[in-house]
Structure 1
């Protein structure tokens, strides 16, 4: 079992749920047999296996693991994950201003080892400088503080993930400040970052619908994810066919993109 050090609470719950589901299936234990053991109800079991149970009880996790015949060292690791999943994330003080399910992105981006981004309207959050943030209509000082802290958490990763970015030319033509342009140039010089611009001359391109992010993970237990954001919440797509569709779309979109200097 892969160790989960450095992961946030949500990712730990997702890992824990997948391991428990695998243990249940491998053991041949039926859901009815688990219900007869009176450890928990069906809805809670499924919530845990899907990583959506926020208030995990480590004694229940221990009972489940032992019921499935898990070795003691694996049981201890699952219990540890359950305990740690109850710890608050660094972003908790900002939870009231974040769109629904945004916290999961803050954890996923800490675990991903390769990230593809298409930005249609705004400079991606990791690359924004303060004056640019302040010019975004409706942004609050608390939201700026969250963005800056998010950047600190992200860029302190060592080693950092490979980041491949395509920015629509419109991003550079709307609200761009000299400081922001310089920030993009400096970030583009990072060895793990590639930033390209999709020119207007590319015409009606494959990514016109929206911005998106594709995150790859080194651990086989973590499926690759497509992230989409809207005003009222976030969407995460893990179906292999959907992820493959966005990969093809990004690849086609990136072909006519040029460097920042061009």
Structure 2
């Protein structure tokens, strides 16, 4: 399993440019600089840098990252301490193409790396074998899951978590350039009760309705399909970030696989291709789009019968 590597308060020599932790660090710094009302030139001057140095950092292409510099940028931009701690952790990650982010290891557990990555995606291909994909969850389905996952949360904290989950869904519902998603759900997801029957009925109706959107493709992998790959992949998402004016990827695609104690991010071409082929295989064995929608509506009715 890939592991993290850190350098304490020093820096890293980048053997490979544009790795995922560095891109995420740059993305956060760019957003906070913009919120602070600073241009690249203005912020670079405050750091006594050339503008190109800060630009490379924001693009995830810096040759060397010092945590002392990240601390200073966080101070200049007014970044809160908990978030600054997470950014410092990102700065300390090794330049690798396969990254296992163990919760609480350098980066605080409540620092959500995936959400920032997802928000930049232009296309997502996912497989879910246990739960509804977060981008397709209803408020009550999300609330039931978060209540189980965070039993000590107050009602206000729970409401905040649900609101954040729903805000993420703007990625596929916004009017301007919504992201495309292609999802395969195992049939077991339809029968695994989250909340109660009423919550499940509403959730399945929501899936059926959402699947009519032009940017959403949703297929159900039936029990009868068996194990198409011969092995279990577990849930995964392949994220793509669009292309530039020359038709080249803006950023390399990333495979995200969520774990109980950490998350796996893969960028190596061979790894991404393997998950691409896995998703294609699952699609071939899944029901077509309309039969999948019909099954969702039929099971939804069964819950409220």
Report the counterpart of residue 160 of structure 2 in structure 1: 145
Cα pair 1:117 1:211 within 8 Å, conserved = yes
Corresponding residue of 1:164: 182
- For residues 128-165 of structure 1, what are the alpha-carbon distances to aligned partners after superposition, in whole Å with 9 as ceiling and x for unaligned? 11322343372335356324323324415431111000
**Counterpart of 1:173?**
191
Equivalent residue, structure 2, for 1:201: 224
On the 8 A contact 1:115/1:215 being kept in 2, the answer is yes
Q: Which residue of 2 aligns with 1:31?
A: none
Aligned 1:1-262 pairs, distance under 5 A = 43-46=10-13, 50=19, 51=22, 58=44, 63=49, 74=52, 77-78=55-56, 88=79, 100=109, 103-136=112-145, 138-140=148-150, 142=157, 145-155=160-170, 157=174, 158-175=176-193, 177-206=200-229, 208-219=232-243, 220-258=249-287, 259-262=292-295
Provide the rounded CA distance (Å) in 2 between the counterparts of 1:246 and 1:60. Answer: 44
Which ranges in structure 2 are unaligned for 5 or more consecutive residues?
A: 1-7, 30-42, 60-69, 87-102, 195-199, 244-248, 296-305
Q: Over aligned residue pairs, what C-alpha RMSD do you find?
A: 4.0
What is the TM-score when the length of structure 2 is the normalising length? Answer: 0.57
Moved beyond 6 Å, runs of 4+: 52-57, 79-82, 95-99
Judge which range, 240-249 or 173-182, deviates more. 173-182
* Counterpart position of 1:33: none
Q: 1:232: how far off?
A: 1.3
d(CA) in 2 for partners of 1:87, 1:111: 23
Q: Provide structure 1 residue ranges, at least 5 long, that are not aligned to the other structure.
A: 1-40, 67-71
For 1:160 and 1:209, the matched residues in 2 are separated by: 28
Secondary structure in 1 aligned to 2:205? Answer: helix
Displacement after TM superposition at 1:79 (Å): 7.6
Cα 1:138–1:43 change in 2 (3 A) is same
SS at structure 1 position matched to 2:251: coil
Query: For residues 215 and 79 of structure 1, do their structure 2 counterparts lie closer, same or farther at Cα, with a shift above 3 Å needed?
Result: closer
**Contact map agreement 2:130 2:188 (CA 8 A) in 1:** yes
Q: Flag the 1:134–1:153 CA change in 2: closer, same or farther, 3 A.
A: closer
| TM-superposition CA deviations, 1:225-255 (whole Å, max 9, x none) | 0001111121100010000000001100111
Judging changes above 3 Å, is the alpha-carbon distance between structure 1 residues 75 and 193 closer, same or farther for their aligned structure 2 residues? same
Residue by residue over 1:26-45, the C-alpha shift from the partner in whole angstroms, topping out at 9 and shown as x without a partner, is: xxxxxxxxxxxxxxx99514
> What TM-score results when the alignment is normalised by the length of structure 1?
0.65
8 Å contact 2:143–2:158 — kept in the other structure? Answer: no
Q: 1:61 to 1:234 in 2, by over 3 A?
A: farther
Aligned counterparts of 1:214 and 1:251: Cα–Cα separation in 2: 12
